[in-house]
C-alpha cells in the first residue's frame, strides 16, 4: 500500500465517523434507558384510543390549537353536537383536558420526547402543571 499513513488515518476517520452511534451507545452507558411513562392512576379513559394517541397526539393538539385559537371554538363538536368526555363537554385544551390527567410533564410527555429528541413548542406558551403537587 502506498501513502499508508494517510490512507490508514483516512480509514480510521471513516470508520469512526460511520460507527459513531456504536461508540456513543457502548460507552454512553445509557442504552438501557427507555421511556418510562407514568400513566394517571385515577383515569382509565383518554379522548381517543391509546394506540392512536401514541402516534397522532401531535396532530390532535395541533388541530385543537387551530380550532380554539383561530376559530374561537373551545369545545369539541361532532356532527354539530358537543362531545361528552367524562361527563362534561370536552374542552379542547392541553392544560384543562390533557394535563388534568397527565399532570406530570416530566413523567409523561418528556419521557418519549427526550428519548427521541423531540422538542415541541407547546411550552413556549403553556405553563406545565407544577409537579410534585400530588
Partner 1 sequence: MGLFFSIVAFFIVALIGYLGYFSPMIFGVVIPYLALAIFLLGIVVRIIKWAKSPVPFRITTTAGQQKTMPWIRRNRFDNPSNAWETIVRMLLEILFFRSLFRNTKASIKDGKKLVYGSEKWLWLFAILFHWSFLIIVLRHFRFFSQPTPNFVSLLQSIDGFFQVGVPIIYITNVAIVVALTYLFLRRVINQKIKYISLSSDYFPLLLIFGIAITGILMRYFFKVDLVQIKELAVGILSFNPVIPEALHPLFSLHLFLVSVLLIYFPMSKLVHMPGIFFSPTRNLANDNREKRHINPWNNEFKMHYHTYEEYEDEFREVMKNVNLPLEKEEK
* Residues engaged in binding partner 1 (CB under 8 A): 1-4, 7, 10-11, 14-15, 18-22, 24-26, 28, 30-31, 33-35, 54-56, 58-59, 61-62, 112, 115-119, 121
Residue 121 Cβ vs partner 1, minimum distance, rounded to whole Å: 7
Alpha carbon 33 to its chain centroid, in Å, reads: 16
Instruction: Name the burial class of residue 98, with classes exposed (0-12), middle (13-18) and buried (19+) by CB atoms within 10 angstroms of its CB.
Output: buried
Residue among 49 and 121 whose Cβ is closer to partner 1: 121
Phi/psi at 9 (nearest 5 deg)? -60, -45
Residue 79 Cβ vs partner 1, minimum distance, rounded to whole Å: 25
Residue among 59 and 84 whose Cβ is closer to partner 1: 59
Residue among 116 and 133 whose Cβ is closer to partner 1: 116
Residue 82 Cβ vs partner 1, minimum distance, rounded to whole Å: 25
Assigned C-alpha cell, 101: 390527567
Residue 19 Cβ vs partner 1, minimum distance, rounded to whole Å: 7
Report the 10 Å Cβ neighbour count for 83: 14
Question: How far apart, in whole angstroms, are the C-alpha atoms of residue 106 and residue 113?
Answer: 10
Amino acid at each position: 500500500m502506498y501513502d499508508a499513513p494517510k490512507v490508514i488515518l483516512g480509514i480510521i476517520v471513516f470508520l469512526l465517523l460511520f460507527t459513531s452511534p456504536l461508540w456513543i451507545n457502548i460507552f454512553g452507558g445509557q442504552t438501557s434507558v427507555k421511556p418510562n411513562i407514568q400513566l394517571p392512576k385515577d383515569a382509565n379513559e383518554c379522548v381517543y384510543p391509546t394506540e392512536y394517541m401514541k402516534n397522532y397526539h401531535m396532530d390532535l393538539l395541533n388541530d385543537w390549537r387551530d380550532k380554539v385559537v383561530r376559530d374561537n371554538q373551545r369545545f369539541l363538536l361532532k356532527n354539530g353536537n358537543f362531545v361528552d368526555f367524562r361527563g362534561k363537554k370536552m374542552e379542547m385544551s392541553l392544560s384543562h383536558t390533557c394535563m388534568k390527567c397527565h399532570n406530570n410533564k416530566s413523567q409523561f410527555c418528556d419521557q418519549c420526547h427526550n428519548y427521541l429528541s423531540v422538542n415541541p413548542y407547546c411550552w413556549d406558551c403553556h405553563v406545565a402543571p407544577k409537579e410534585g403537587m400530588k
